[in-house]
Structure formats: structure tokens, C-alpha cells
């Protein structure tokens, strides 16, 4: 059929009118789509606002804090649960296969194995496994109230349990604290340490010099230029080995200022301690400082540092050295023991799933330790070095398999003697 010229002309003339009339319809469709999208976003925000996505201060810096994930809301409070199962195989020199206990895994106990001539021994354990609970309640006095509870089974060697039949051990408290309006009350990592600088090793915390302590405290957090400032009163304590004197009259005062940005994490911390001895009726005020950093390098790689100096005592190396000179204490005088320690680590990602960390750590007693023997300052060493190298594979964020080698060197007080300890550790960590 041929189109009549008049019909064609009318149609062409009507096209602009048709286009004009279609614009409002298209606009209406677009508005409805935007409204629908807005409603979906609002619904999503409403769901997220009621979920506990993290425990107080939960970041990737501390993998032991509650994982991200939605929780169960009951009334005005959202409850979440997390943790991990960690299975370890430890093969150690000097007859140390690491018994299924906590105390044998301390650096000062590695020194005893280093001095031994026994063969290498192997041990298996799952006692580092942890579980945790977190809560979040909105509008408690105009602020959000968050709580966090964490436990594991890594109790002392003399705790109930055995390796002969059951390998059953009691849970122990690791962290239990709450946060409200900038305040924190309860037990958590000391303000004197920086978890962002903590190297990633399988035998976590067991380095010669790293600051790694959890204890009860009252802490206040405030915003500061480039980051935040924290100040706390923390539980005081002194002692050595199995001796805990518990005769302190004043809390430890700690403070830390941290800067976090695209160029890395930087922190400076200070501590004041009043060390006392009731038996000698003597006391001394002592202090310590710590500097730390985590600096990004190439890709996802980073380098981590920590340097500490002063009356570090129990705060450094999992209580490697006493808080005071033991010989002077036996003579009726409190003499804070001055030590220093440095840790450096480089973490390299071979692929998004494969990574390695190389960690070196060194600590030494600054005070004179020439006298050795009964009643001396230390019974075995006054300097230690540790080196860790590992290979970790994480096919999923909830699963990490790894193999790690560590080497320790212990220098003895008052001599040129040195002893070495070595350890191979295989680990599987499954988070939930």
C-alpha cells in the first residue's frame, strides 16, 4: 500500500507533539524507579543499623576481635557470636614439643629448652581456639553501648586437664569490656601496645620484644588531629615467674596517641608505674615509652615496627624479664629493671591468597647483669633474639593454613655463652 502524501505530512507534523507528550510519561517512570531504589536503600540501611558489624574497635589489625557479620536483635540490643578453631602442631628443639599448656610456650621457657641437649619433640594442641560474644544497644543515655566477651582454653600448665586421656581444659577469660560515650570499662589489650603493628605469625605474641598484655582498666578515647588519643588507668602488678606480689598501691597510667591515614599507622605511647615491695617497705616510680608504625609499601605489602624502652618488665615479651632487680629486692631495695626491645616485620603477598611474613625481634636488659647464680638478677639470660618466617594460604577469609619456622638465640648474663632454640609450627585456623 502506498501512503497518501497528505497522511504522511500529517504524521510528520505530529511527531514533535508525540515526543513532547511522551516526556512526562518517561519522567514519571524515572521518578518511580528512583523512589523504588530509594526505598530499597532505606530498607538496607535500616537492616544494617540494627546489626552488630563489629565489636568495639574491631578492625583487620586484630583478627581475634569479633568478626564482621550481622547479629540477632532482641529488643533494643543486637547480639553477635564469633571466634575460631585453631589446630596447631609444634615441633621444637631441646625436648620442647610444647606441652598442651600455656606456660611452656613462653619465651623464657624456650630458653630452658635452648640449654637442653634433648632431641626434638612434637606436640599437638587446639587450646588457642576462641569464642566471643558482642552486643550493641542504641540510645543508652544518648549514646551507643557496646560490650565484648572473649574466652579461650589456653590456661596454665597446672590447670585441670591432661594429655593422657581427655585433653580437656577449662575456658579462661581473655577480654571482657564495654564501651560507652568514649569510655571503656573492663579487660582488654593494654593501651601501651599498638595492635596495628603486631606482626602476623602463627605463634601469636611469642616474639622476643613485642608489647602484648591484656588486663582490666578504665580508658577514655578522644578524637585528635589525624587520629585519636587514649589515656587509661590499668591494673598494676609486678613479680616474676610464678611469683605475683600484688602489693601495688597505685594503678599503672598509660596513654597513646595514634595517627591513621593513607600513609600508614603511627603511634607513640607512654607509661608510668609505681613499683612497690611490702617486705622491704620500699617503692620507686618508673616509666617507659613505645613507638610503633605500620607502613604500606608495594601492593598489599607492609612493613611494621615497634621500639620500646624503660621499665617494661611484664609488658614486654610475655613477661620475659622481672619488673625489678631481684638481687636488690632480696637486699630490701626496689630497683626498676630497665630494658629495651625492637621488632621489625615485613609482610609480602605472593598472590591474593598466599602471603608470608619475616619477623625479627630483639630485647636486652640495659642494667648491669654481670653477676650470675643464686640471688642474681636473672637465672639464665639477659638478651634474646627471635626470627620468624612463615607461608600462609587463605583460600577464604574464614580459613588460613600455614607453616612457620622460628629461631631463638639467648645470651647469658655475665658470659659470652649463647644457646639456640628452633621451632616448626603448622597451623589451621577456621573462623566462624
What digits encode the pLDDT tens for the residues 147-191? 999 999 887 655 666 777 888 888 899 999 999 999 999 999 999
Q: How sure is the predictor about 116, in pLDDT bands with cuts at 50, 70 and 90?
A: confident
Selection from 171, 288, 282, 271 nearest residue 231 by Cα: 271
Check pLDDT > 60 for residue 4. Answer: no
Residue with cell 624502652: 309
Rounded Cα distance, 243 and 75, in Å: 47
Task: Tally the C-alpha atoms within 13 A of residue 133's C-alpha that lie toward its C-beta.
Answer: 8
Q: How sure is the predictor about 379, in pLDDT bands with cuts at 50, 70 and 90?
A: low
Angle at the Cα of 22 (from 16 to 28), degrees rounded to 5? 150
What 3-state DSSP class applies to 254?
strand
- How do residues 272-299 score in pLDDT, each as one tens digit? 999 988 777 888 999 999 999 999 999 9
Buried/exposed code over 42-51 (b: 16+ C-beta within 10 A; e: otherwise) = eeeeeeeebb
Please give the span between the terminal C-alpha atoms of the chain, in angstroms, as a whole number: 73
**CA 113 remoteness from chain centre:** 27
**Mean pLDDT for the chain?**
82
Listed by start position, the domains of the chain span 50-431
Q: Are 169 and 160 within 8 A, CB to CB? A: yes
> How does strand 282-296 pair with strand 227-234?
unpaired
| The CATH number of domain 50-431 is 3.10.20.30 | no
Neighbours of 109 (CB within 10 A): 17
Amino acid at each position: 500500500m502506498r501512503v497518501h502524501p497528505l497522511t504522511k505530512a500529517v504524521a510528520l507534523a505530529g511527531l514533535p507533539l508525540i515526543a513532547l507528550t511522551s516526556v512526562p510519561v518517561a519522567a514519571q517512570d524515572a521518578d518511580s524507579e528512583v523512589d523504588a531504589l530509594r526505598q530499597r536503600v532505606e530498607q538496607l540501611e535500616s537492616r544494617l543499623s540494627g546489626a552488630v558489624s563489629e565489636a568495639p574497635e574491631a578492625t583487620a589489625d586484630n583478627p581475634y576481635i569479633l568478626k564482621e557479620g550481622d547479629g540477632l536483635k532482641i529488643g533494643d540490643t543486637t547480639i553477635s557470636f564469633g571466634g575460631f578453631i585453631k589446630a596447631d602442631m609444634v615441633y621444637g628443639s631441646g625436648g620442647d614439643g610444647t606441652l598442651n599448656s600455656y606456660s611452656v610456650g613462653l619465651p623464657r621457657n624456650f630458653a630452658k629448652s635452648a640449654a637442653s641437649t634433648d632431641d626434638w619433640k612434637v606436640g599437638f594442641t587446639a587450646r588457642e581456639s576462641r569464642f566471643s560474644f558482642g552486643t550493641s544497644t542504641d540510645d543508652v543515655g544518648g549514646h551507643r553501648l557496646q560490650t565484648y566477651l572473649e574466652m579461650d582454653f589456653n590456661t596454665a600448665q597446672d590447670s585441670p586437664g591432661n594429655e593422657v586421656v581427655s585433653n580437656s581444659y577449662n575456658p579462661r577469660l581473655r577480654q571482657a569490656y564495654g564501651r560507652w560515650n568514649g569510655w571503656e570499662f573492663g579487660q582488654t589489650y593494654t593501651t601501651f601496645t599498638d595492635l596495628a603493628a603486631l606482626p602476623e605469625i602463627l605463634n601469636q605474641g611469642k616474639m622476643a620484644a613485642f608489647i602484648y598484655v591484656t588486663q582490666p582498666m578504665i580508658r577514655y578515647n578522644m578524637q585528635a588531629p589525624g587520629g585519636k588519643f587514649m589515656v587509661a588507668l590499668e591494673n598494676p602488678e609486678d613479680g616474676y615467674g610464678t611469683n605475683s606480689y600484688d602489693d601495688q598501691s597505685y594503678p599503672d597510667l598509660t596513654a597513646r596517641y595514634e595517627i591513621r591515614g593513607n600513609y600508614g599507622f603511627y603511634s607513640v605511647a607512654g607509661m608510668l608505674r609505681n613499683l612497690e615491695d611490702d617486705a622491704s617497705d620500699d617503692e620507686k616510680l618508673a616509666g617507659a615509652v613505645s613507638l610503633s608504625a605500620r607502613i604500606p609499601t608495594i601492593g598489599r605489602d607492609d612493613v611494621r615496627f615497634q621500639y620500646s624502652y624503660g621499665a617494661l618488665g611484664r609488658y614486654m615479651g610475655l613477661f620475659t624479664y622481672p619488673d625489678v632487680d631481684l638481687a636488690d629486692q632480696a637486699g630490701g631495695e626496689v630497683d626498676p629493671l630497665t630494658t629495651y626491645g625492637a621488632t621489625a616485620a615485613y609482610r609480602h603477598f605472593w598472590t591474593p591468597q598466599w602471603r608470608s611474613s619475616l619477623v625479627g625481634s630483639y630485647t636486652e636488659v640495659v642494667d648491669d647483669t654481670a653477676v650470675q647464680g643464686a640471688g642474681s638478677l636473672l637465672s639464665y639470660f639477659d638478651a634474646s633474639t627471635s626470627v620468624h618466617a612463615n607461608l600462609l594460604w587463605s583460600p577464604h577469609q574464614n580459613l588460613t593454613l600455614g607453616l612457620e619456622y622460628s629461631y631463638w638465640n639467648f645470651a647469658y648474663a655475665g658470659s659470652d655463652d649463647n644457646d639456640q632454640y628452633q621451632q616448626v609450627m603448622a597451623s589451621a585456623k577456621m573462623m566462624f
